[in-house]
A and B are shown apart, each in its own frame.
Chain A
Amino acid sequence: MSDGTKRRTVLAGGLSVGVGLAAAPARAEASTPKTDLLTLVVNGRRVRVDVDVRASLLDTLRDRLHLTGTKKGCDQGACGACTVLLDGRRVLSCLTLAVMHEGSEVTTVEGLADGDRLHPVQRAFADHDGFQCGFCTSGQIVSAVGLLAEHPDLTDAEIPELMSGNLCRCAAYGNIRAAIAAAARLSREGE
């Protein structure tokens, strides 16, 4: 324990000088927020929005475009709840700044259904009970849609690894796999 005590002193010393951890670095002065006028094509619609350069694509979709289907589970790139399709590929919208995507096409969970007709992956998730609380579901579904596009010949055995970027704390994993497998079969037969 003596070791710990010694180190504690060092650490405490470091922190108790004036500005603690919140130790805003010297240059973190209150500077004027910078904004940028951005054009995105979201779910097939062209939108123009003035964004703070610090805003993530996720916050821009949710706060500015009011597309709240895409969820913020961690803001750390670790849960997959914010998955969207960016120019057709699944990405984490929390890990990228909106300002970096001038002209990009973004598809969110709201853009998958064709009017009242659910996307086959959405239908499969509903029928196979591929969720419980539903908070990760938008991300799971968009990720699955991205997965099927990446792997048109997806086998059932590949699904667990290729869906491991989407956490489900309720752990509906078995049903999620079943739903994606069913949607994959459907899309293969459809061709």
Chain B
Amino acid sequence: MPYNATPSAANRADRFIWRRKHLLGLRDLSREELLHVLDTAEGFKEISTRSIKKAPPLRGKVVVNLFFEDSTRTRNSFTLAANRLSADVLEFTATGSSISKGETLRDTARNLEAMGIDIVVIRHSAAGAPHLLSRCIDAAIVNAGDGQHEHPTQGLLDIFTIRELRGDLKGLKVAIVGDIAHSRVARSNIWGLHKLGAEVILVGPPTLMPASVEKLPVTVCHDFDAVIPEVDVMNMLRVQFERIGSTVFPSGREYSRLFGLTMDRLKRARKDVLVMHPGPVNRGMEIESEVADGPNSTILRQVSNGLAIRMAVLFLVNQAAALKEGTDKTP
């Protein structure tokens, strides 16, 4: 049979009820919830391959993209995902809006809600902004990145991509390399990967490790070359020049010499190692062009999978909102 939906995955999905009206972070999710999002996303991949790239489950719903921080791909990905599910999308950007006139997040959200919206996709520079929003309005909230806290859909799409290519997360060794301290992508990956049984190794200079790294379910290594031969996945984080001062490492060249993924380093990795990057790529800094465009790179696959994950998330939070009882578990 050509079908890859195993009876066990199908049975699991049949019994499961998704109750979260908000997706705020992967730290809150159980293993079963994570698997349910991944399984659901499998069903959304096909939509993007058709000539009519649209399905009707969110017809008549309004999704607001509420972005207080710059974003190109996450925002476009959410917009396209919502469009493909037939929702109407309202784009809201902080610059040129009432935010620049001093309106608070709460007031902005309440005003939007008065227009009759169903789902808010929010990106904000303050950790916890999506949580605050989920407590003051009725709409379903999806976190599209909050400060240095979480970026759950990026974590999910990274994990989805690994599972797609490796089948199972259990026992895999995943190195997350670079600026961990400022990375919400790293944090979401850590929680998700850990719950699904992968081993996470954080690699980077001590100055770019988060403050209480010992409390995370990870091992830490400051020597990239020591880690390379033993890992199944290398997730190369972007060096976030806009967030960090010049004091954390002496120079870009020094960073790239110690932690950049070069062809030379790739040769010492497993032949089938997956090279991931959440984008946008600083070519020649954290990753060499030849590696980013090479056969081990999953960068473009991550972007395609991001659409499927975001469609699944929008669909699921809407499904939870439609549940009759007030069964939402999130605070």
- Pair from one complex: no
- Chain A residues at the B interface, C-beta cutoff of 8 Å: none
